[in-house]
Amino acid sequence: MSGHVIYESRLELTRLLYADFDRGTEAVLAQPFLLSARVDGGKRRHVPDFLILRRGRVPLVVDVKPWHLLTRPKVSFSLGWAREAVESRGWEFEVWSEPPEAELANVRFLAGYRRARVFGPGGGGGGRGGGPGRALLGGGVRGLSHRPRGRGGGGRAATPWGRRPW
């Protein structure tokens, strides 16, 4: 994925981060369409948060809601009929809430190693040799122009200003 996708909350931003780590994700559209239906004799309307287009799979419609809101009857009702409308078209529907804290911390940490200016256009890592257009972590660190010269390097701990921390 590349480019900016709008989001309205930190929780939506977190869901985008997870979509960005899914290799099958081809595109993400924010607030992609208005669902409108007659439900229990009333006209209902709902705009999902994201539409995720995935390679070789049906589209995924995502609604992002914090856990504490999922128990509210109005929210539950709205997500229920929206799920039925989406799944009746053969698409997948997902209600996404907060992930486990440790998992999110790891994903956020790893997200820092996807910066093309440091690691090349393919992202970071990618195995022992990195592959075409990829750099290993050490290669990315060596590419930083503000990296201090001299002390520090393979197998030794050093602070950013070149002194050992102990």
pLDDT tens column, 59-104: 999 999 999 999 999 999 999 999 999 999 999 999 999 999 999 9
Question: What is the H or E stretch that residue 11 is in?
Answer: helix 10-21
Q: What are the sequence ranges of the domains in the chain? A: 10-101, 116-148
Q: 10-101 — its CATH code?
A: 3.40.1350.10
pLDDT exceeds cutoff 50 at 11:
yes
152, 162 Cβ separation under 8 angstroms = yes
Closest C-alpha to 151, from 165, 140, 138, 163: 163
| Count of Cβ atoms closer than 10 Å to residue 106 Cβ | 11
Greatest CA separation found in the chain? Answer: 74
Number of H helices, E strands in the chain: 5, 6
pLDDT exceeds cutoff 80 at 33:
yes
The Cα–Cα gap between 37 and 35 comes to 7
The Cα–Cα gap between 40 and 92 comes to 23
- What pTM, to 2 d.p., does this model score? 0.68
